[in-house]
Amino acid sequence: MLGCMEKINDSEGHPSSSHQTLKGTSKWATSLENLLEDPEGVKRFREFLKKEFSEENVLFWLACEEFKKTQGKKQMQEKAKEIYTTFLSSKASSQVNVEGQSRLSETILETPHPLMFQKLQDQIFNLMKYDSYSRFLKSDIFLNHQKCEEQEENSPEAQTAAKRASRIYNT
């Protein structure tokens, strides 16, 4: 588990941040959609789901989001097969529990389209939204991260920067 002062870097090695009007845990707490839009939120949610033995749900949801952006039939076929074998087949290594997965036969993988997994993705989203997400908001992972954010906001450096900004904009 990450400590308060341990910084997270994005894929380019820059410190990750969520400096929007609402940031971090405040934004995550408003909706599962906001949580899933924030790379740091996804990271913390995955950490939580791993402890609950249901990380495959968010991994499947993320894979479906990536699949929708896939261009070209060959790439779509490859990604569709990867999603099917990883999450949906009876022999899947990270099988998700969705209704109707048996009706999604391997033959559909030959003619993929961007929304072919949408119904299954929606089922998993709703499962996370009405089950895992509410528990995540009460989890130590979320609460500790929230406490760290509050400590950072109340730190002397943050207050000094805020005062400097205030002086600059109020002159």
Residue pair 86/94 in contact (Cβ under 8 Å)? The answer is yes
Question: What's the confidence (pLDDT) of residue 170?
Answer: 55
Question: And the tokens for 70?
Answer: 């896939």
Chain Cα centroid distance, residue 11 = 15
Q: How far is it, in rounded angstroms, from Cα 141 to Cα 132?
A: 13
Question: What's the confidence (pLDDT) of residue 153?
Answer: 82
State the virtual CA torsion across 72, 73, 76, 78 in degrees, nearest 10.
-120
Q: Could you state, in order of their start, the residue ranges of all structural domains in the chain? A: 31-144
Question: What's the confidence (pLDDT) of residue 167?
Answer: 55
Question: What's the confidence (pLDDT) of residue 165?
Answer: 54
Closest among 41, 60, 36 to 121, alpha carbons compared: 60
pLDDT along the chain (171 residues), means of 10: 46 43 85 96 96 96 97 94 92 87 72 92 96 96 93 72 55 50
Place of tokens 């999603």: 83
DSSP class of 104: S
DSSP class of 38: S
What is the CATH number assigned to the segment(s) 31-144?
1.10.167.10
Chain Cα centroid distance, residue 112 = 24
Q: How far is it, in rounded angstroms, from Cα 136 to Cα 38?
A: 15
Q: What is the value of pTM for the model shown?
A: 0.76
